Amino acid sequence: MCKTCSRHRKFLSGCLDGRGPAPEPQSPPLGPRPVYVPPQRPSIASDPRRSRPPSRTSTTSSVDSTATVNSAHSLTSLARRISRELYPNEAQLASLETWAENIDVYIPRGRPWAPEVVAQYEEYKRLGEICKKDGKAFFSQWRRTEKNTTVEEHLERAELALRAAESAYKAGKARLDFLLTYQNAYSDKKSVDTHIKEIRTELKKARDRVHDVRINHENLFIAHGRKANPDVFR
């Protein structure tokens, strides 16, 4: 019995004829942990059994790119901003309509207009022309791509709708501000009524185009939502 076994008053495992417990064998040093690489799932687009007919757009376009997702999210955020800004202007327009309906005798301001009146008049006319141009661009694209609309065309249509909404809002607001500031700048009551009608038309155009942005955003999610991050569409 070795000294260690004698001290413990029993035979210990590894006692080698009085030489004490044998040292425990050392484990070999561990090498670097192998990196697990998960198997790649086959692409649906590359699977001939599940491939779809080619669309009218280029096959190199990426419908699930970050740029596409961010564009859709940004467009709807801007559309909500325009929608919020429309509310107070629509309320002011309602007040002007009530004012115009209760006019007994309209007393026009004499001509010629002061330079600042002319400048504001020319500005709302200029914005009105931009409103018409942007509206035509939206409807032209919509008629051209109405059937079998692709994701790129939905985004383009939403962008054109947003541009038309913003230009219509600016044109309507400019007309509204002019009438609020210069209520006696027109030649007669009929001209005032025509001006109010134009304000109503342009603000309605802005509201309609905001709706078109949202519709195309929803269509983009329904048709292509599985190919992009769904959180941005909520």
Cα–Cα distance for residue pair 220/75, rounded to 1 Å: 12
Query: Using an 8 Å Cβ cutoff, are 206 and 165 in contact?
Result: yes
Longest Cα separation, the chain: 129
Q: What is the band of 132 on the pLDDT scale with cuts at 50, 70, 90? A: very high
Q: What is the band of 210 on the pLDDT scale with cuts at 50, 70, 90? A: very high
Query: What pLDDT, in 10s, does the model give residues 150-161?
Result: 878 888 898 999
Cα–Cα distance for residue pair 154/227, rounded to 1 Å: 15
Instruction: Report the length, in residues, of the chain.
Output: 234
Query: What pLDDT, in 10s, does the model give residues 43-95?
Result: 433 443 333 333 333 333 333 333 444 556 677 788 889 999 999 999 999 99
User: Domain-by-domain residue ranges, the chain?
Assistant: 85-233
Q: For residue 9, what pLDDT is reported? A: 64
Query: Using an 8 Å Cβ cutoff, are 162 and 78 in contact?
Result: yes
171 or 148, which is more confident? 171
Percentage of the residues of the chain whose pLDDT score is greater than 70: 63
- Asked whether residue 146 carries a pLDDT value surpassing 90, the answer given is no
Helix axes 66-101, 151-181, angle to 10 degrees: 30
Hey, which bits of 10-162 come out as E strands? none
- Asked whether residue 8 carries a pLDDT value surpassing 80, the answer given is no
Which among 178, 176, 170 is positioned nearest to 117, based on CA atoms? 178
20 or 74, which is more confident? 74
Q: What is the band of 106 on the pLDDT scale with cuts at 50, 70, 90? A: confident
Least confident of 8-17, 83-92, 135-144, 169-178: 8-17
Report field, pTM of the whole predicted structure over 0.75: no
Cα–Cα distance for residue pair 36/43, rounded to 1 Å: 21
Taking CA 213 as the corner, what is the angle to CA 210 and CA 215, rounded to the nearest 5 degrees? 110
Reply yes or no: is the peptide bond before residue 112 cis, omega within 30 of 0.
yes
Instruction: Specify the CATH number of the domain 85-233.
Output: 1.20.58
Instruction: Tell me which residue has tokens 């109010």.
Output: 196
Query: Encoding tokens for residue 22?
Result: 């044998």
3-state secondary structure of 173: helix
Cα 172 from chain centre? 23
65 or 4, which is more confident? 4
Supply the mean pLDDT for the chain: 75
DSSP at 108: P
Q: For residue 69, what pLDDT is reported? A: 41
